[in-house]
Chains A and B, each alone.
Chain A
Amino acid sequence: MDKSLNWRETIITAVIKASGYSAILFVGLIFFFLLREGLPALSQVTLANLFSQRWYPIEAYYGILPLITGSLIVTLGAMLIAIPFGIGTAVFIAEIAPRWARDILKPFVELLGGLPSVVLGFLGILVLSPFLRVFLDLPTGLTALAGSLLLGGIAIPTIVSIAEDALDSVPRSYREGALAIGATRWQTIWRVTLPAARSGVLTAIMLGVGRAIGETMAVMMVTGNAPVLATRWNSLFMPARTMTATIAAEMGEVASGSTHYHVLFFIGLVLFLISLVVNVTASSVVFRQKKRAERVLS
């Protein structure tokens, strides 16, 4: 073989290999830099302080519990909206809608997924929160609820898209079998198609949760930014503050290398680990499903 050709082939193969490995490198780098900048927080702030109920960095109160509960309550509220509407829409698109409606609906819902979250936050400030204030007779509309409503909207496209794929990949023969023994289409959906697509639907929900916990701008703009420990249900109707919003709002103003700076990186580390757990779990569900499918087919 031509020698120069051989050389080129070797170099290109090396470059492509290196690019392939780059994803691992980047996850490693992100983890490393979060550790490097976040771990000093543990030596500068006592654990009792870090896991206290008060976040007030100016006076060196670094309790991240209110931020964690803030993230949890906003995400929980978002899921109460996004799961029924997301799965419902996915079932409608995959099982009920006629072909033409389906070809329009799915790209349309995915279009919402492309809408920058800052635009939703902007509408949240100008339209949603004044409406909530009047409608629910609250002192302010900038509440965890406003954040939940927007986050629900942000998580829905993720859930619809993945859940619809899962429903769509259930073999035709499953449905035909159910219909042939006299089940209605409605019974087929609930007793055959949805259970068969179970793991895909679960993945959709998990990735929706991941999307909601990690969302920053929309939440920061509408939740009122009050780091109060959320303990009861009516916390949903009060201002709150999430972990992501805290980082985004305060990182611009801290001196690099200060205790506050390291604590914000520590919160980032917590977020990173949460997303790691969510995504690894979600993907292992997908892998399991694949393996089961392979078993059935072989």
Chain B
Amino acid sequence: MNRILTQRLGFSLLTLVALFTVLPILVVFAYIIAKGAPAISWEFLSGFPREGMRAGGILPAIVGTFYLTLGTAIFSVPLGIAAAIYLAEYARENWLTRLIRIAIINLAGIPSVVYGLFGLGLFVFFLKFGTSLLSASLTLSIMTLPVIISASEEALRAVPQAFRTVSISLGGTRWQTIRRIVLPQALPGILTGVILGLERAAGETAPILFTGAAFFLPRLPHSPFDATMALPYHLFVISTQVPEMPFQIQYGTALVLIVFVLGMNLIATFIRSRARAKRQW
């Protein structure tokens, strides 16, 4: 049977292809963990860089990435969820709604470095926020918005129509229905989307290059108008701009960044699977 043989060959080939796609991912993670783990110590996580960043810790970069993620969340989460509510609960299918959808798709596709240019033009120069935590967070927020909107809209749409019908028929207004019935049901899905969006923001370098990232700061940022160090930018700096950088610190920084970002990913996956198990519909 010739075609059975073809199928066997074909299946083996595709299995091999999938293996070649998945294995490098495993190798990359294992390699960074193995190389970076020896660098991790309390001093590395809680100390300031010393000797031109060739020694000491990376605390300002960790705190900076934390602030940037928080700042991004403050702007993008309320706006993104509200936009998703509009699309899922209010909007009719007309040209305006189609235009909004095309705009969201485009926002998702704009190169991250172009967001950096935009942030430089609007926030740093035009609004005079300077190279600061605020400018960088705002830039990252707009970049994160499409992820949050799409995921939240999907979560809202997944809530069965019957929930809304019952609430409205009991005399609830549209907003009461959304706030008391639809939003709580959709919350796990929304949360998952929010975390995945913020995860991307936390790992990005290009949008903050000219809007808020600092090469080196001997202290933590005090106000939203201070520039800040950040883990991804710091990794870029110490792997390309600083000669004779000890490998251990580079790998250690990469490991901390990965743990930060993938930690968020794991939390999102956890929320999603728990919500699926508990779902009443």
Q: Which residues of A contact B (CB under 8 A)?
A: 5, 8-9, 12-13, 15-17, 19-24, 26-27, 29-30, 33-34, 36-37, 84-86, 88-89, 91-93, 96-97, 105, 107-109, 111-112, 114-123, 125-127, 153, 156, 160, 184-187, 189, 207, 210, 213-217, 221, 244, 247-248, 251-252, 256, 264-265, 268, 271-272, 275-276, 278-280, 282-283
Contacts and interface: CB of A to CB of B under 8 A. Distances in A.
30 contacts: A5-B173, A9-B174, A13-B175, A20-B90, A23-B100, A24-B100, A24-B103, A26-B145, A27-B106, A34-B121, A85-B20, A86-B21, A92-B14, A96-B11, A105-B18, A115-B203, A116-B257, A119-B257, A122-B239, A153-B24, A184-B4, A216-B113, A221-B236, A247-B113, A265-B121, A268-B113, A271-B111, A272-B110, A276-B109, A283-B102
Interface in B115-132: 115-118, 120-122, 125-126
B167 interface: no
- Interface size, B (range): 35 or more
Contacts of B262: 111, 114-115
Identify the interface centre among B25, B86, B110: most chain A CB within 10 Å of its CB: B110
Contact of A119 (B114, B196, B235): B235
**How would you classify the secondary structure of chain B's contact residues: helix, strand, loop or mixed?**
helix
Interface in B100-157: 100-118, 120-122, 125-126, 142, 145-146, 149
**How would you classify the secondary structure of chain A's contact residues: helix, strand, loop or mixed?**
helix
A213 B14 CA distance: 27
Given A23-B103, A186-B6, A214-B113, A279 B108 contact: yes
A238 B50 CA distance: 37
Nearest to B209: A248
B86 A17 contact: yes
Interface string B163-183: 000000000011100000000
Given A105-B18, A126-B239, A221-B236, A23 B107 contact: yes
B258 interface: yes
Contacts of B105: 279-280, 282-283
Nearest to B237: A118
A263 to B, nearest CB: 12
Given A118-B236, A186-B3, A248-B113, A20 B28 contact: no
A274 to B, nearest CB: 9
A216 B261 contact: no
A275 B111 CA distance: 7
Contacts of A86: 21
Contacts of B107: 23, 26-27
Kindly list the 10 A-B residue pairs having the minimum CB-CB distance in the complex, ordered from nearest. Answer: A214-B111, A20-B86, A116-B203, A19-B82, A88-B17, A186-B7, A33-B121, A279-B109, A92-B18, A23-B103
B79 interface: yes
B132 to A, nearest CB: 15
B24 A22 contact: no
Contact of B21 (A121, A156, A207): A156
